[in-house]
Amino acid sequence: MSGVPGGALPPLTVDGERVPPAHLARLVSRTAAALAAAGAGPGRGAALACDHPLTAVAAAVAAERVGAPLLLDGAAPARRIAPAAVITCGADGEPVVVPAPLRAATALPEETAAVFWTSGSSGDPKAVAVSRRALLHQGGATARRMGVTPRDGMVLPLPLRHAYGFSVLQVWRATGAHLFAESGFHLRRVLSLLDGATVTSLDGVPSMYRMLAAEAVKDREVARALGALRIRGCGGDVLTPALYDEFLRVTGSALHDGYGLSEAGPNVALNAPGDVRRGSVGRLLDGVRARVRGPAGEIQISSPGLMLGYLGVESGELSRDAFTGDGWLRTGDTGCLTDDGWLTVSGRIKEVLVVHGETVAPTVVEDAVRSAAGVLDAAVVGVRAGDRGDVVWAFVESADGDRSAVAGRVTEVCRRTLPPQIRPRTVRVLTALPRTGSGKHDRVRLRAWAAGEATA
């Protein structure tokens, strides 16, 4: 799929350097030929073992050309899905194809176009198989919601091996917009790109926007550049009300967050330019349906962008255990849906706190904790204490060297704003919260820390 007439690839700039179209076309053709020679093709995957944007872009297009599933986020677990070829980085970030033993390659369902790994925040990483139809729907539906056209320039300082970054790549293919792909988030480089007249869109995670907001407070030109963007996409983790309000205050413009998961494309709902509702994760994309079921209020999704299923990491066989009997995806997330399609997410079913018989979303406590002075971020977990339910622990990220003072301020804020039963019993202040590979809070590790201290 391409938004450029004649099937040519849209404009691409990598780390500030424009990639000549003819050069990109040669890289794709060469990579596709090497993949085919190695035996990669329908049902025989190619593992992307490099985060360099030029390699990632060329690999994605080349794998599509030969019909090979692209194995993304390919760290240690992905090696158990044996590829027919591995794509690594050569000189200047150009792709190099290394053949693997073809007889050992895992046979995947032929309709598989990409394989993502879930973040593993539940402690059980899974391989998500996605079809070409799902990728095409994702690129088109996201582009329509955000109003992306060939006149847009999209800055992407996120890894293309994760579902969020890969979804932006699909929008690039669908629209013909100019993609400014960066090897990582470097504050000064991103700000220099925003000065360009062609840049209209930026995608990032909340921690990135927190840094940009802090810079905007110090420099009004930064605030102006951020506010001048048409799209300020925010994903990968929960956008807190405090960060949303602070960014709006210093730039005069809203962040466009949404809701998604690798199993659903990833985008399910998005706030969009001129179509934002604070506190929600936006309206459902075209073609997506949602419903809320069960006592916990689980969000379930029906969409052309849904995964084929989870792959057995050695067998390659599909599991449909995450789907209901009538084909809806059980997300494991809780929330509510308005009649006009606006979605609000309150938390994860497995992360819900149960205190004295009362069910509480961790975000309720986290929002209170984050309002304390000196707190940059917070994650709340529960440790089961017999028939009393969960004991609430708050882990706080702060740059303030006086940890006891920060903990005291958190305790005081929670005393003023939260009912006694859900106030954190323990507050631990860290310089940085542990995170998964996709940037989410690593609640498995935090829960283990809390449980270890509780039983010590």
CATH number, domain containing residue 74: 3.40.50.12780
Whether residues 293 and 372 share a domain: the answer is no
Residue of 440, 56, 109, 57 lying closest to 261 (CA atoms): 440
pLDDT surpasses 70 at 304: yes
Whether residues 304 and 160 share a domain: the answer is yes
pLDDT surpasses 90 at 122: no
Torsion of CA 46, 57, 132, 307, to 10 degrees: 80
When pLDDT is averaged across residues 256-274 and rounded to a whole number, the result is 95
Q: Rounded to an integer, what distance in angstroms lies between the CA atom of residue 405 and that of residue 400?
A: 9
Q: What is residue 78's predicted lDDT score, i.e. its pLDDT?
A: 44
Whether residues 86 and 156 share a domain: the answer is yes
When divided into structural domains, the chain yields a total of: 2
pLDDT surpasses 50 at 75: no
Whether residues 342 and 357 share a domain: the answer is no
Whether residues 366 and 392 share a domain: the answer is yes
Question: The domain spanning residue 430 has which CATH number?
Answer: 3.30.300.30
pLDDT surpasses 70 at 358: no
- Give the least confident one: 286-295, 384-393, 400-409: 384-393
Residue where a domain terminates, one of 315, 348, 381: 348
pLDDT tens digits along 316-334: 889 999 999 999 999 989 8
**Secondary structure, 3-state, the chain:** CCCCHHHCCCCEEECCEECCHHHHHHHHHHHHHHHHHCCCECCECEEECCCCHHHHHHHHHHHHHHCCCEECCCCHHHHHCCCCEEEEECHHHCEEEEECCHHHCCCCCCCEEEEEECCCCCCCCCEEEEEHHHHHHHHHHHHHHHCCCCCCEEEECCCCCCHHHHHHHHHHHHHCCEEEECCCCCHHHHHHHHCCCCCCEEEECHHHHHHHHHHHHHCHHHHHHHHHCCEEEECCCCCCHHHHHHHHHHHCCCCEEEEECHHHCCEEEECECCECCCCCCCEECCCCEEEEECCCCEEEEECCCCCCEEECCCCCCEECCCECCCCCEEEEEEEEECCCCEEEEEEEHHHCEEECCEEECHHHHHHHHHCCCCCCEEEEEEEECHHHEEEEEEEEECCCCCHHHHHHHHHHHHHHHCCHHHCCCEEEEECCCCECCCCCECHHHHHHHHHHHHHC
Give residue 391's domain range: 352-455
Whether residues 200 and 268 share a domain: the answer is yes
pLDDT surpasses 70 at 120: no
pLDDT surpasses 60 at 3: no
Give me the percent of the chain exceeding a pLDDT of 90. 70
Residue where a domain terminates, one of 322, 348, 374: 348
| Average pLDDT, rounded, for the chain | 90
Whether residues 422 and 295 share a domain: the answer is no
Whether residues 121 and 265 share a domain: the answer is yes
The larger pLDDT score, comparing residue 346 to residue 251, is at: 251
Whether residues 277 and 373 share a domain: the answer is no
Whether residues 318 and 375 share a domain: the answer is no
Residues near 221 by Cβ (< 8 Å), separated by ≥ 6? none
pLDDT surpasses 70 at 121: no
68, 278 contact by CB (below 8 A): no
Whether residues 20 and 65 share a domain: the answer is yes
Whether residues 126 and 57 share a domain: the answer is yes
Q: What is residue 136's predicted lDDT score, i.e. its pLDDT?
A: 97
Residue where a domain terminates, one of 348, 381, 416: 348
The larger pLDDT score, comparing residue 393 to residue 196, is at: 393
pLDDT surpasses 70 at 437: no
- Give the least confident one: 45-54, 182-191, 351-360: 351-360
Give me the percent of the chain exceeding a pLDDT of 70. 92
Q: 357, exposed or middle or buried, with CB in 10 Å at 0-12, 13-18, 19+?
A: exposed
Residues near 29 by Cβ (< 8 Å), separated by ≥ 6? 62
